[in-house]
Amino acid sequence: MTAYTLKQIKTFHRVATLQSISKAASSLFVTQPAVTQQIQQLEEAFGLPLIEPFGRTIQLTESGKIFFALSERVIASLSEMESSMASLVNLQQGHIRLGIVSTTKYFVPMLIMEFKKDYPDITFDLKIANRETMIHSLRNNLVDLVIMGRPPNKIEYDAISFITNPLGIVSGEKYPIKSRPQYTLEDLKHEKFIAREEGSGTRLLMEKIFGDQGVKPEVFMSIDSNEMIKQLILANMGLTFISLRAVRRELEAGLLKLINVEGLPYVGHWYIMHRTEKKLSPSTEIFKHFIMEKAEDLVNQ
C-alpha cells in the first residue's frame, strides 16, 4: 500500500456526499482535474476502485461504500480533536455536535439561544433526524450529544432526563368523531390515524401503548414530519398520537383538541445523552449541565 493523505480522504468524502466531482470541486474551490487526481491517488494507494461514473453523477463502488462509512468516522474524530483542543485554550469557545430528534425542534432552538447568551463564541453543528438515525450517529461518533426520548436500554449510553414529554391523541377542531366523555383505545381502533414514520420514537411508543391493550391502530398515512402531520390534523383528516409539546400552541388556540382517552396522556421524558465512554470536551460538558439545570424552567415558561 502506498502513502495516502488526509486531504485525499476529505476530498473523497466530499465527492461521495455530493455525488459529483464538479460540485465537490466547486465547494472545495479547486479544479475538477485536481479532485479527480486526489481520488485516483487514493484508489491507487488501496488498490481498489472507489467511485464510478453514473450518468452525470458518480456512484460509489462496494469498496467505496465501505470506505465512505469509515471516512465519516475519521473526519468526525478529527473534528472532535480540534474542538477539544480549542476548548482547552478557552472554555468560552468550542464546537458542539448536537443531534436532536425532530420533535424536539419545538424547544431546542430556544435552549441554544439562551445558552449562547452566556457563551456566544461556542458554535453548534446541529443534526436533526429520527430516533433510529440518532442512535446510529451516536454509535459511530458522528455527534457528541443527542436530545431524544426513549433512549436505548443499553449500558453503552449515559442518558439523563431533563423535562417531561407528555404524549396524547389529538384531532382537528371539526374532526367527525362520536362524542363521549372519555374514550378507550378500543373505541378508537377504527379511526384513521396519521402517524410518524417507522423507527421514530413516537411511532414505537404508539404501537406499544396500543399493543398493550390488544389494539392495532388503523394507520393510513405515515409521515416523517410533525409539521405536516399537524397540517393534516388541522384539516380534520384523522387522529394522531403526538408529543403535546409539539402542538402546544394549537391546543391553546383551540385549533386542535386533545382527545380524552383512558390512560393518556402518557408522560415520557426527554433525555440528553452520549456514549458512556465518550470524553466530552469542556464546551460540551458546559452545555450538558446547562440543559440539566435550566432547561425545565425555560421550556415550561
Distance CA 272, CA 301 (A): 20
CATH code at 204? Answer: 3.40.190.290
Distance CA 58, CA 25 (A): 13
Same domain, 258 and 179: yes
Q: How far is CA 78 from CA 50, 111, 213, in A?
A: 22, 27, 49
Tens place of pLDDT per residue across the chain (301 aa): 678 888 999 999 999 999 999 998 888 888 999 999 999 999 999 999 999 988 888 899 999 999 999 998 888 888 878 776 766 655 667 889 999 998 999 999 999 999 999 999 899 999 999 898 999 999 899 999 999 998 887 788 999 999 999 999 999 999 999 889 999 999 999 999 999 999 888 999 999 999 999 999 999 999 999 999 999 999 999 999 999 999 999 999 999 999 999 999 999 999 999 999 888 888 899 999 999 999 999 988 7
The H or E element containing residue 223 is: strand 218-223
Same domain, 137 and 57: no
Domain span at residue 187? 165-267
Distance CA 70, CA 268 (A): 35
Distance CA 249, CA 196 (A): 20
Q: How far is CA 255 from CA 63, 229, 250, in A?
A: 52, 14, 5
Same domain, 170 and 263: yes
Same domain, 173 and 244: yes
- Say how many domains are in the chain: 3
Show the cell assigned to 170: 389529538
Distance CA 49, CA 272 (A): 41
Show the cell assigned to 198: 417507522
Same domain, 135 and 180: no
Q: Which residues pair with 268 in a beta bridge?
A: 165
Distance CA 258, CA 256 (A): 7
C-beta of residue 147 within 8 angstroms of C-beta of residue 269: no
C-beta of residue 101 within 8 angstroms of C-beta of residue 134: yes
Show the cell assigned to 277: 465512554
- Residue 262 contacts by C-beta under 8 Å, 6 or more apart in sequence? 182, 183, 184, 185
For residue 58, is it within any domain? yes
CATH code at 117? Answer: 3.40.190.10
